[in-house]
Amino acid sequence: MSTRTARATLDTPVASPLDGALAVARQFTQVGSFARVADPAGLLAPDGAFSGFAFIWPTTPGGRSQTLFGRWDAARVSGYRFGIDAQGRLELALGDGISVAHLLGEVPLFARCWYLVGFSHDPASGETRLYQEAVINASNSLHAPILPYAYAERRAGVLTQAILHLPDTPFVLAGSHRLGTPAQVVDLYNGKIDRCGLVGRALDAAAFDAIRRDADGLPGREFRLLAYWNPSIGYGPAGIGDTLVDQGPAALDLEGFNRPVRAMTGFNWSGRDDSYRLAPEQYGGVHFHDDALIDCRWTPACSLEVPADLPSGCYALKLRQGGVEEHIPFFVRAATPRAPIAVLMATASYLAYANEQLSFSSPVVQPIFGRTPILSEDDMIRVERPELGLSAYDCHSDGAGVCFSSWRRPILNMRPRYRMALGSTWQFPADLSMIAWLTHKGYDYEVLTDHDLHRDGLAALQPYQAVITGSHPEYYSWRMMDATEQYLGGGGRLIYTGANGYYWAVSFRDDEPWCMEVRKLDSGSRAWQAQPGEHYNQSEPVRSGLWRNIGRTPQKLLGVGFATEGFDASGSYSRMPDADKPELEWIMAGVPETLIGDFGLALGGAAGLELDRYDLHLGTPPGAYLLATSQGLSDNYPRVSEEIYYMFPGQGATQDYQCRADVVFFDTLNDGAVFSTGSIAWTSALPSRGFDNPVSRITANVLDAFIRPGPLPGRAARP
């Protein structure tokens, strides 16, 4: 037929200029987030008396040395650093290039409590002081202000150590510079830092008290301000960036590295406003993590210019060395769309799961899977190599959830043939079953990515008669949601072959599409939960969390929405009466079976892993047809947490009818339509029995009709 075309089989080599041997070398990766500014003029290296202060919310005080800020070189033991020692106490270090003098506090810091901390030093007399005082209100800290704990520190000493200030040493917030090849930042800090400053005089306790009592934490003019970094400045219509603004005389703004987390509550958060859009002055908290990674910043070993005539599709750079084979996938979009079909590769969701370690770090994984996770050597490498970074399903070393994920690093689980610890393919490897099916059937298709859809909106989808999703398009931005809705309202046709889709609301910066942000809020199936008041993304001023909680349930666009998940075994579908209505006979043509999908590469069935259901109360269109529903699921498939208001027995699939997958079809405006399968396992059933099976036939029937010009079959008979 004219809509099908000959296409090379999967894993077909394509000649390129890169064929042959490549010279590669190991490269350093700076892990951990911090902020810094070069200071060649020594404006932050005073010769006379000076003091420093910061509002801090430490998350892992004790265990190792951490630097809050300083102009310090750890290799040349020069400059000054102010931080927390291995016992969780304040520490000031002064170095002359040969030796180091320390002043240590005596009162350990409590984790997740706000403090004002500071130091002062007068080189003329050697008089040195440490200051520490809690800044706790009813909402901002782990503890209530009613407790009689020892928070305060007033430590004095004499340090006659000279300070060697080197011009090539930067000022670093949340870490210390260490000269080397390459230079790196060490002694990284875990926790938040809000307003921070340096003044050109030695402050006493009364002066620090005055700063602490100021609503904005601002020192008075008489303090001879050198620098004052105020992270609450800079919020705007596009969220907030990585620059920490210096309100001091030299305007030495700090630049964040590895995306310090902003839009976080600060020392003065009252709890009354839950968004920086309402009270930006209360959102000066910047959360730093010692294991954050956004960009490896490697020097490329090679580059490839994609030939203009290379067909749109999924490709990979295949590497071989010493018997080891590796694939680096990439996608080619059509310069001028010509095919009737677009396959939408869920690159936002691929990022969310990139190098996930949930299978290792979370004790709930085994009961969720219903069996022991199956781990591979590649899985162990992800855990052992911090320079590979974390996923949005992991937590940082201080327990905070990972809200950023990027592709500027190796992503080992975004590979052909990779199996997740649940024993099945997941995300990109699972979506290759759809690519294999389309290729085997000879369909003329092109590939789009979530990133294309986010950037170009409706224009990315409009050229196509039909769009097919992958198995698990879980993460969607506002632009993606809007574009999908516009496409369907304008007569577009969508085949949703997955489940738990359109679930989390995510954000991207326009100039950095390689980094995605999501915040897991207080609803939904989540590996972590954001702190109170920190529910809005910094990449754009929108609320994150579930789309369902923003009034845009998946049922509105897909007819189905997340109902249950289980990973012990997959089930099949039972044919429902709507499937035999005359106006839908084209969907079930050649499918006499009443039992559909009792096979598949995903745990043995087409209805499994994660499932979506038809639900009129959640926005399924009243005119939607229910063609099939799942069967054979165990109680390892419980009802999703966002629907459970009270805990009680009987919420598994054998007892709760809402724990199921549904196959749904409905019409949209202007001869558009949606066909949804409600199961992640659906696409993994397509290749079974040599691509000749009921799941394959139903999918082909729908796709053939969707790409045929004119109204769909039976349209006049449908309401």
**Contacts of 485 by beta carbon, 8 Å cutoff, 6+ apart:** 557
Contact 283, 266 (CB under 8 A): yes
Distances (CA, A) of 362 to 106, 246, 637, 640: 36, 40, 19, 19
Q: Where are the beta strands (DSSP E) in 576-688?
A: 595-596, 607-614, 625-631, 662-668, 672-676
pLDDT digits (tens, 9 = 90+) for 616-638: 999 999 999 999 999 999 999 99
**Residue 431, helix vs strand vs coil:** helix
Q: What φ, ψ does residue 392 adopt, rounded to 5°?
A: -75, 5
The winner for highest mean pLDDT among 350-359, 410-419, 490-499 is 490-499
Predicted local confidence at residue 6, as pLDDT: 46
The per-residue pLDDT for 3 is: 42
What's the CA gap between 487 and 149, in Å, rounded?
59
H or E element at residue 557: helix 554-558
Q: Hey, is 436 helix, strand or coil?
A: helix
Residues of the chain with CATH 2.60.120.200: 34-288
The mean-pLDDT minimum among 46-50, 258-262, 320-324, 698-702 falls in: 320-324
Q: Quote the pLDDT of residue 8.
A: 53
Taking CA 558 as the corner, what is the angle to CA 553 and CA 560, rounded to the nearest 5 degrees? 70
399: pLDDT confidence band, cut at 50, 70 and 90?
Answer: very high
421 or 579: which leads in pLDDT: 579
- CA–CA separation, 283 vs 649, rounded Å? 42
List pLDDT tens digits, range 648-682: 788 888 888 899 999 999 999 999 999 999 999 99
Non-local (6+) Cβ contacts of 289 within 8 A are 32, 33, 188, 190, 261, 396, 397, 398, 400
Among 271, 243, 272, residue whose Cα is nearest residue 259: 243
Q: What was the pLDDT predicted at 10?
A: 61
The pTM (predicted TM-score) of the whole model is: 0.95
Q: How confident is the model at residue 128 (pLDDT cuts 50, 70, 90)?
A: very high
Q: Does the pLDDT value for residue 595 go beyond 90?
A: yes
Given pLDDT bands bounded at 50, 70 and 90, which one contains residue 5? very low
Task: For the chain, give every residue range classified as CATH 3.40.50.880.
Answer: 316-717
**Arithmetic mean of pLDDT, 169-191:** 97
Which helix (DSSP H) or strand (DSSP E) does residue 218 occupy? none
Position 439, amino acid = T
Determine the 3-state secondary structure of 460 from DSSP.
helix
Tens digits of residue pLDDT in 74-102: 999 999 999 999 999 999 999 999 999 99
Query: Quick one: angle between helices 428-441 and 694-707, nearest 10?
Result: 70
Query: In this structure, what token pair is assigned to residue 677?
Result: 């399968």
Domain 34-288 of CATH type 2.60.120.200: yes
**d(C-alpha 358, C-alpha 524), whole Å:** 16
Fill in the amino acid letter for 491.
G
- Confidence (pLDDT) at 7: 57
Mean pLDDT of 260-278: 96
Please spell the DSSP secondary structure of 13-78, one letter per residue: ----TT-S-----------S-EEEE--TT-TTS-SS-EEEEEEEEESS-SSS-EEEEEEEETTTTE
Mean pLDDT on 446-466: 98
> 3-state class of 475 per DSSP?
strand
Residue 329 CB contacts under 8 Å (≥ 6 apart), including other chains: 314, 315, 316, 414, 415, 416, 428
Residue 648: predicted pLDDT: 79
The mean pLDDT of 311-338, rounded to a whole number, is: 93
> What is the average per-residue pLDDT within 340-344?
98
pLDDT in tens, 581-594: 999 999 999 999 99
Say which CATH topology domain 316-717 has: Rossmann fold (3.40.50)
Residue 2: the pLDDT is 32
Structure tokens at 334: 């059509």
Strands (E), 523-618: 545-546, 560-575, 595-596, 607-614
Burial class (CB in 10 A: 0-12, 13-18, 19+), 43: middle
What value does the mean pLDDT of the chain take? 94
Q: What stretches of 185-302 show up as alpha helix (H) in DSSP?
A: 205-213
Six-digit token pair at 375?
């781990």
Peptide bond into 367 cis (omega under 30): no
pLDDT for 371 beyond 80: no
Q: Give SS3 for 437.
A: helix
What's 122-175 look like in SS3? CCCCCEEEEEEEECCCCCCCCCCCCCCCCCCEEEEEECCCCCCCCCCCCEEECC
Residue 498 has pLDDT above 70, yes or no: yes
Query: Please, what's the b/e burial string for 20-36 (b: 16 or more CB within 10 A of its CB; e: otherwise)?
Result: eeeeeeeeebbbbbbbb
Looking at the predicted structure, is the pLDDT value of residue 186 above 50? yes
Buried residues in 520-529 as b, exposed as e (16+ CB within 10 A): bbeebbbbbe
* Token duo for residue 112: 């997740």
283: pLDDT confidence band, cut at 50, 70 and 90? very high
What is the distance between the alpha carbons of residues 262 and 395, in angstroms, rounded to a whole number?
A: 17
Q: Which residue type occupies 640?
A: V
- pLDDT number for residue 173: 98
Strand ranges in 161-274 using DSSP code E only, listed in sequence order: 171-173, 176-178, 184-186, 191-199, 225-229, 243-244, 254-257, 261-264
CA distances (Å), 368 to each of 92, 119, 358, 523, in order? 47, 49, 11, 18
Q: How far apart are CA 547 and CA 26, in angstroms?
A: 42
Q: Round to whole Å and give the CA distance between 719 and 715.
A: 8
